[in-house]
Structure 1
Amino acid sequence: MLNRFMQSRLRGLVILALILIILPAFLGNPFHYELVIQMAIIAATVVGLNLLVGFAGQISLGHAGFFGLGAYFTGIATGTYGWSSLPALVVGAVVVGTIAWLVGRPILRLKGHYLSMATLAVGFIIAIILNNERAITGGPDGMPVPALDLFGWELSTFGRYSLFGIEISGVQAWYILASVVLLAAVWFALNLIESPIGRALRSVHGSEVAASVVGVDTAKYKSLVFVISAIYASVMGGLYAHFQGFITPAVASFEFSILFITMVVLGGMGSTFGVILGAVVLKLLPQVLADFQELETVMFGLILMLTMIFMPKGLLPTLTAAVSKRMRKKAGGEA
C-alpha cells in the first residue's frame, strides 16, 4: 500500500502529465510553444534546486552558474568538437557534478548569510570565466549551438518530423521532449524525497544538530543534494542551449540565479509541484505585463511582494490549504 503522501504525489504527477498532454490544444502558434518549452526546462531546473533549498534547507544564490556551465559544455562539445548531444549532456553533468562536489564540500560548512555569499561568489566566478574566455566561449558575444542530435536524429525548431505516422513541427517535437524531461525530473525528485536520502535531507533541514545526534552524516547529505541539484541545472542548461541555438554568459548571470530562487520561494519551498507553478507564473508575468511598458518592472515587483505578504508559504501550499479547509468546512456542515 502506498502511504498517503506518496499517493498525493503520484496523483500530482498524473495531473501534471494530463496537463502536458492537453496543453497543445491551447497553443496557437510557435511562440506559445517556445514559451512553454522554456517554462518546462526552467521548471525542471528549479525542481532540482528545490531539493537543495526546500528539503535540505540550504540556500544557493549562484545556481545559474551550474546552468551556464552545462549550457556551455554542451555547446562547446557539440559545436567545437563535434560530439553528439547525448554524450555531451551526460559528460557535462558529470563534470558539473564534480565541480559542485569540490566547491560544495567547503562552502556547505557555512550557514545563513555566509552560505548565501559563498554560493553567490561561485556564481559570479563562473559568469566571469564565461565572459573572459573568449577563445573558448566567445566571450560576451556568446556562441552558436548546433541542433539537438539524439541517436542521429537532429531536432531543430525549424524542422518537420514524423511521429507514429503523424507529421509534427520542430517546436511540437521539442514540446514533447521537454514534457518528457520535466516528468522524469519530477518523478526522480518525488522518489528521492520518499527515500532514506530524502528523510535524511528533511532531518538536516529541521535541525542539523539533532540530525547529527541520531547518526545522520549532515556534511555527506548536504554535499549529495548540492551535486544532484547542480546536475539538474547542468542537463537543463544543455537542453536550453540546444533549444535556443545560441547562448551568452547571461545564462549564468546573477539575475538568472535570483529568478530560479524566486520561483522556488514563490511556488512554495518544499513543494515539488509548487515550484513548477512558480516557474510558470514568473515566465508568464512579463508577457501579461508587457502592455504596461515602463511600469512593467514596478507591477512585477508589486505582484511578487503582495504574493509573499498574503501567501508566505508559496502559491500552491497556500491554495491547497485553502481548498482543504473549505472542503472540511463543507463536510462538517453537511454532517
Structure 2
Amino acid sequence: MPERLLLIAGAAVLAALPFHLDASWLQAGLFAMAAAIGAIGLNLLSGSTGQLSLGHAFFLAVGAYGYVFFAADGTAETAGLGLPTPVAAVLAVVSAGLAGLLFSPIAGRLGGVYLGIASLALIFLGQHLLFNLESVTGGYNGRDVPALRLAGFAFDGRSDLSVLGVPFGAMERLWFLGLALVAAAAFFARGVLTGRPGRAMNLIRDQQTAAAVMGVPVARVRSGVFTLSSMYAGLAGVLLALAFQRTVPDYFGMILSLEYLAMIVIGGLGSVGGAIAGAAFVTLLPQILTRYGDSLPLVAAPGTDGITPADAARHLYGAAVVGTVLFLPGGLSGRWARLRTPPGRRRAPSLHHNAVIARPDTEEPNP
C-alpha cells in the first residue's frame, strides 16, 4: 500500500511539472524519459539475461532516423515517404526490431564480453551510414524532425492551447506523451520479468547449462530478448528525436552506449525501476551541472577553459559506476529494497548482478 501511494504521489508530481518548469527543463525531462525507455530495454538484455551489448546507440539511431525518413516529405536533397506520423513512429520501432532480429543469431550464440565486442561493430557501422547516407540521414548536418500528429492533435510548438493559463507548446504536450510511453514500457517489461519468460531469462543469466538441461531454448530466448531490447531502443530513439527536434549523427556514438550501461549499473541490473532511476541520474546530471556549474568548484562554463559540465558529469557517473559495483552491488534499486526490508530479514547483497555481464559465455549445449 505505501508503494502505491508513492507511485500515485510521484505521478501527480510529474503531471504537475509542465505547469511550473520552463521549456529547457521539460526538454531535459523528455531526454530522461527517452533514456528510461532505452535503459529498460537494455536492462532486459543485460540485467535479466546476462547479455552485454555495446551497440544500443545503433538501435536508437534506427528509431530516430527511421521516424524522420517515414514521416518527412522527400525533397531534392533528402528522401522521405511522408507517411502519417503515428504510422511512421510504429514503423521506426519495427525497423529497430528488424535490425535487432538480423543481429539476433549472433546474440543467440555469443555471451558476455564476446557479444559486447561483436555488438560494438554496430556502432561503427551506424556511424558510417549516418555520415555517408546523406539522402536518408542528411549527413553531418542531420535532419529536422516532423512534429507528431495524433488524432488531430499536433505535438508542435504552437501555443493555441493553454491549460490553467499555461501555454501548452511542443515540450508540454510531449511531456505527457513521454510519461505515457515510459509507463507502458515499464508495465510491459515488468510483465515479461514476472512471467515465464522472465524466469527463463534469469535462469539463463545465472545457470546457462542448467537452463539448457531443463529444456529452455537458450539461443532462442537470447535472440528474442535482443530483438525486444532493440525495439525498446527504437521507441526511445523516436521520443528522443521528437524532443530534440533534430537528428544529429554525432549523438549516436560509443559514448551514448556507454552511458546506457552506466544507467543500468547505477540503477540496478534486472530492475525496471532501477533502469528509470539510473536513466534520470545519468541524463539529468549534465543539465544540473550546466545550470549550476558557476557555483561549483572546478566546473567551467561551456566554451571556457577547465572541465565542462558534460565532462564533469561523465567523471561523476563514472565514479558512481565504480562505487555501485564496489559498495552497492544491487544498484539504487537494491539499496531501496534493503531499506524497505526489516533489519532482521535482510540478507547480504549478491554480487552476481554486476558480475554476470562480464561472464564470457560463448557456447551453449543444444537442448
TM-score, length-scaled by structure 2: 0.80
Instruction: Letter of the 1:305 partner, please give it.
Output: V
CA distance in 1, matches of 2:214, 2:8: 36
Are 1:131 and 2:125 matched, yes or no? no
CA distance in 1, matches of 2:27, 2:344: 38
The Cα of 1:28 is off from its aligned counterpart by 2.8
Aligned to 1:69, which of 59, 62, 74? 62
Q: Percent identity of the aligned residues?
A: 31
CA 1:12–1:196 in 2, change beyond 3 Å: closer, same or farther?
A: farther
Q: Please identify which structure carries the higher helix content.
A: 1
SS in structure 2 at match of 1:55: coil
Instruction: Letter of the 1:259 partner, please give it.
Output: E
Aligned to 2:274: 274
The Cα of 1:44 is off from its aligned counterpart by 1.2
CA distance in 2, matches of 1:232, 1:263: 15
Aligned to 2:198: 198
CA distance in 2, matches of 1:68, 1:9: 35
Aligned to 1:312: 329
Deviation digits for residues 186-210 of structure 1, max 9, x if unmatched?
0010111111111111111111111
CA distance in 1, matches of 2:200, 2:15: 35
The Cα of 1:47 is off from its aligned counterpart by 0.9
Deviation digits for residues 17-55 of structure 1, max 9, x if unmatched?
344235446x43121211111111111111111111111
**Residues 103-118 of structure 1: pairs in structure 2 closer than 5 A:** 103-118=103-118
User: 2:204·2:211 contact (CA, 8 Å) conserved in 1?
Assistant: yes
CA distance in 1, matches of 2:4, 2:119: 33
Which stretch has the larger CA shift, 190-199 or 153-162? Answer: 153-162
CA distance in 2, matches of 1:182, 1:224: 21
The Cα of 1:132 is off from its aligned counterpart by 1.1
SS in structure 1 at match of 2:168: strand
SS in structure 2 at match of 1:154: strand
Deviation digits for residues 152-200 of structure 1, max 9, x if unmatched?
3221145343679996333221111111111111001011111111111
User: 1:74·1:88 contact (CA, 8 Å) conserved in 2?
Assistant: yes
Instruction: Letter of the 2:267 partner, please give it.
Output: G
CA 1:119–1:289 in 2, change beyond 3 Å: closer, same or farther?
A: same
Aligned to 1:21, which of 5, 8, 15? 15
Are 1:38 and 2:31 matched, yes or no? yes
Aligned to 1:54, which of 42, 47, 54? 47
Deviation digits for residues 32-79 of structure 1, max 9, x if unmatched?
211111111111111111111111111110101001011001001111
The Cα of 1:112 is off from its aligned counterpart by 2.4
Aligned to 1:321, which of 324, 334, 338? 338
**Residues 62-101 of structure 1: pairs in structure 2 closer than 5 A:** 62-79=55-72, 80-101=80-101
CA 1:117–1:253 in 2, change beyond 3 Å: closer, same or farther?
A: same
User: 1:75·1:242 contact (CA, 8 Å) conserved in 2?
Assistant: no
Aligned to 2:148: 148
CA distance in 2, matches of 1:132, 1:36: 31
The Cα of 1:129 is off from its aligned counterpart by 1.0
CA 1:317–1:103 in 2, change beyond 3 Å: closer, same or farther?
A: same
Structure 2: gaps of 5 or more residues:
73-79, 294-298, 301-305, 347-367
Which stretch has the larger CA shift, 294-303 or 168-177? Answer: 294-303
User: 1:148·1:243 contact (CA, 8 Å) conserved in 2?
Assistant: no
Instruction: Letter of the 1:63 partner, please give it.
Output: H
Deviation digits for residues 108-161 of structure 1, max 9, x if unmatched?
311222111001112221221111111221112111111112233221145343
CA distance in 2, matches of 1:159, 1:38: 21
The two structures, once aligned, show a CA RMSD in angstroms of 2.6
The total of aligned residue pairs comes to 322
CA distance in 2, matches of 1:132, 1:8: 53
Aligned to 1:102: 102
Instruction: Letter of the 2:56 partner, please give it.
Output: H
Structure 1: gaps of 5 or more residues:
1-6, 330-335
